[in-house]
A = this chain, B = another copy of it.
Amino acid sequence: MSVKYAVLGLLVQRRGYGYDLVQRFEEQIGPGWQLNAGAIYVALDKLEQDGLVRPIATEDAIAPTRRRTVRGAPRVVYEPTERGMERFDEWMKEPSALAPLREELHLKLALSRKNDLPRLLELVAEQEQICRRRLEEHADATPLEQLAERNAAWPALAAAMVRDAESEHLRATVAWLGRVGAAMRTQLGAAAPA
């Protein structure tokens, strides 16, 4: 449940409501996380149950003339409690485990039979395209080293680090897919009649 603490951290930055937090999460963490917006609302409920955030007002109370959300319910604005601010600081200091690597393609590979090879080779090419497209989105970003040398301000530098993590992961995936594709072609070549 690390999303819970991320939502808490966003509220420590400044108060907010559900959809606002969805947007800020996506801006600050980037697309690599593939946030499911529902997770933000689950996190808010859990944080409120744990006494780490509290609803301070509805958007109605703050700006009664603004239009309501699609469902007609007023937006609830949250802020961290004192315990919430302490808990966030504690979380920031706790060790972080390495996340699992859970690619569906790995499952397919591990469970495939040799006659799946032609289709697997297509899947490898598809994933390579996805990675390359996403890498293009990173192409204009200033490299981390340059920002560090220029002594960029902290939040910008931290954001560049997270972007850099995604780029590195995508480049590594492309390199791996390249090796896998080559090995698959060797197998197919060996299997083909001479």
Contacts and interface: CB of A to CB of B under 8 A. Distances in A.
Interface of A: 2-3, 5-6, 9-10, 12-13, 28-30, 32-34, 91-93, 95-114, 116-117, 119, 123, 126-127, 130-131, 134, 144-145, 147-149, 151, 154-155, 157-159, 161-162, 164-166, 168-169, 171-173, 175-176, 179-180, 182-183, 186-187, 190
A33 to B, nearest CB: 6
Given A107-B29, A145-B179, A165-B106, A187 B154 contact: yes
Given A29-B106, A95-B123, A96-B104, A113 B154 contact: yes
**Number of identical protomers:** 2
Contacts of A102: 2, 33-34, 99
A190 B154 contact: no
A32 B151 CA distance: 36
A8 to B, nearest CB: 9
B108 A145 contact: no
